[in-house]
Each structure stands twice: as structure tokens, then as C-alpha cells.
Structure 1
């Protein structure tokens, strides 16, 4: 696991690992009016795991247009309740994490990535 290699672990304080089981969860990160979806299933190789085809991105919709102007009385816990409910269930939203000992990508993932991503670096 790259984040557990000795040379990296030596510079990361031990308290940073306390909730490491949540590093790959798929859940919203909420700060009052700001909601960003964290797609932990897209970074499994960083944690030494087999990278499977990730779930489609979750769109938080109208949340990006919300600001706090003129909303001093708004209760954000009520306004963002649907995201809070998902966050409270974050332990059930951790993807399958099978260790990869050679960090070789699965053929299915490579095929998916080539069809969905941009696998080429273009010179400028």
C-alpha cells in the first residue's frame, strides 16, 4: 500500500491513520452550504488495491448554486438532510478493496478507462 510504505509512513503523523478505513468511501463532504461528492472508489490504486470500474459520478445538482447570502436563518442541517443521511451511512459506502501485490490494472478496467478517459498525453 503506497501510503503505508515505510518512507512515507515515517513522515505522516500516526493520528492521520485513525480513520483511514474511510479514505475510500463514496460519500458527500458537507460544510454548511457546500456539498462536494468524494469518489473514493476512483483512487483505489493509491492504496495498493485493485482498481475496479468505479460507480458513475454522483451529481449533487442544485447544491453548487447555493450561497449563504440572505439565508442567516436557514438551518443547513435541515437543508442538506439528504446528504447528511448518506454521510451517516458512509461505513456502508466503502468499495471493495482487494489488495494488489503488483499494482497491475485489470483488463476490464483498462478497457473501461480507454473508452471513458483520455489515455494519451498530448504535447503542447
Structure 2
């Protein structure tokens, strides 16, 4: 239930439509209480559900993500017990419950704290921790067995992560995104063999098209650098190609917005007309 509400608050994929507003006491009820009403799932198809959700996640763009659903207004209404320990909310430490240990790594999700996302430091999540449970270990002294992690937790104030506040979007060609695209699997679904009368995911095809646009946009800078500076006609032609690619990239990313998604107030929007030239790959991010 907790994971489901987390998803509904932040992502549009699979989110039901509330038919009415819930009667919520802001001084007592948690944020999730406003989902305690009749809701419709008509926009979420029943057959082929998994391929549909995967495809929607593949095509998701930044405006469809609410990074911080807990606004300052909501936080001000919460009882004091919900706000205790704020100084360690971003501590990079193990979370422990008897035999269970999970690493809390806020440096990987800085935007959920309203901070600029930089390339996070390399950190092992120690997946071998999941190989041990209480089976066959009923008499284990877990305080002694997990001593090293308990020590880290007790020193949690020494491991608080801080960042630079910035409400703007992440630069698509910035250092972090270039690194992220290099180390991660960007899309869930491969391009499928198209069969008749079944749902056909589009995410994979869009991914290849977007990568092609991005690659061509980067190469046009190389062409500009290698061009004879006295050849103004050729220079202007390459600049026009770059501007066209930038427009295509912006259109490609914005047409994926679903009709019922409101603009995200946490993000800025730049509707300025393209200039005659694009001098830096970062400029492509101003409108994508």
C-alpha cells in the first residue's frame, strides 16, 4: 500500500482518477488519506496491463513526475510527530529492523529533496544482505550480528547528505544525464515483434528515434567546429539543421504528455522562440 501511494503521488502511470474529493482532516490525516474515496481506473486498460504500463513508463517525460508531493503548505499542517528528525531525513545510512538491513541512499535521489542531482558517489547496496533472514537463526543475537550497521546508524548525524536547491529541470545534455544514460538501462521494453490485435508498445521505437536526434544534434557541433569560418553559407546551413533538430527534440518530448496531466508547478517552462544559432549543447535543454 505504501509503495502504491508513493507511485500515485509522483507518477501518472496507473494512477486512478478520484471521482470525488475525500473528507480529510489536515491536522490528523496523512497525505495518503485523500485517496480514500471512490476512484475510476477506466483509463488504465485491463487486458495487456503489464506491456501498457511498461510502455507508459518508457515514454514518461519530466513534466509527468512530481518530485516533491509534500509541499511546504502540506508540511506546515502535519503534526509535530511527523516532522521529528528532519535533520536526518537525508542521512546516508543503513535502515535496520531486526535482521533486515536496507541502505538509504539519498545521494541517488537528490531531486526528491529539492536539490540538484549530481553524479552520486559509488556505493555498494550490499545485495548479499538479502541472503540472510531469520530462518534457521532463531537464537541469533541480531544486535551483535548487525553490529557494524547499527554503529553506522548510531552515527547517522555524521552521514547527512546536503545539496544545492534548484527548482529547474535537469539539463538533458548535462554531466549527470550523460553519465546516467551511459550506466543505466533507459527503457524497460524492447521493440516487439508486431502481432495483430494486441497492444503494441511504442517506447522502444521512440527511444531509438530520440537517440538519433540527440546524436545528430551533437554531431552538428563537430561540423561547426571543423568548418571554414569564412564559409558563412555552410555555417548558416549547419546552424539551421541544429535548430531544426532542437525543435524536433522539444516536440518529440512534449507530445508524449497525456491530456489529463496538469503542468508541474515545480518546473519552469521556457516558451521562447529559438534563436538564429545554438552555441552549446546545453541550450537544447532550455526547451526540451
Give the superposition deviation at 1:81: 0.7
- Match in the other structure for 2:86: 20
Moved beyond 6 Å, runs of 4+? none
Listed as ranges, the gaps of 5+ residues in structure 2 are 1-66, 190-200, 203-288
Give the superposition deviation at 1:51: 1.1
Which has the larger strand fraction? 1
Are positions 1:112 and 2:192 aligned together? no
2:187, 2:78 → 1: CA distance?
A: 33
Give the superposition deviation at 1:42: 1.5
Give the superposition deviation at 1:121: 6.8
Question: TM-score by structure 2 length?
Answer: 0.38
Q: Deviations over 1:49-100 (max 9, x none)?
A: 1111112242325321112133232110100011111112221212232111
1:91, 1:10 → 2: CA distance?
A: 24
Tell me the secondary structure at the aligned position of residue 30 of structure 1. Answer: strand
Listed as ranges, the gaps of 5+ residues in structure 1 are none
Q: Which region of structure 1 is more displaced relative to structure 2, 50-59 or 21-30?
A: 50-59
CA pair 105-62 structure 1, distance change in 2 beyond 3 A: same
Are positions 1:70 and 2:136 aligned together? yes
CA pair 73-21 structure 1, distance change in 2 beyond 3 A: same
**Among 63, 72, 86, which residue is 1:5 paired with?**
72
1:117, 1:5 → 2: CA distance?
A: 33
State which structure, 1 or 2, has the greater radius of gyration over its C-alpha atoms. Answer: 2
- The RMSD of aligned alpha carbons is 2.5
Q: Confirm or deny: 8 A CA contact 1:48 1:103 kept in the other structure.
A: no
What are the residue-to-residue correspondences of 1:12-51 with 2, within 5 Å?
12-51=78-117
Q: Deviations over 1:28-57 (max 9, x none)?
A: 111111111111112211121111111224
Q: Which region of structure 1 is more displaced relative to structure 2, 110-119 or 81-90?
A: 110-119
Aligned residues: 122
Question: TM-score by structure 1 length?
Answer: 0.79
Tell me the secondary structure at the aligned position of residue 83 of structure 1. Answer: helix
Tell me the secondary structure at the aligned position of residue 93 of structure 2. Answer: strand
1:43, 1:18 → 2: CA distance?
A: 21
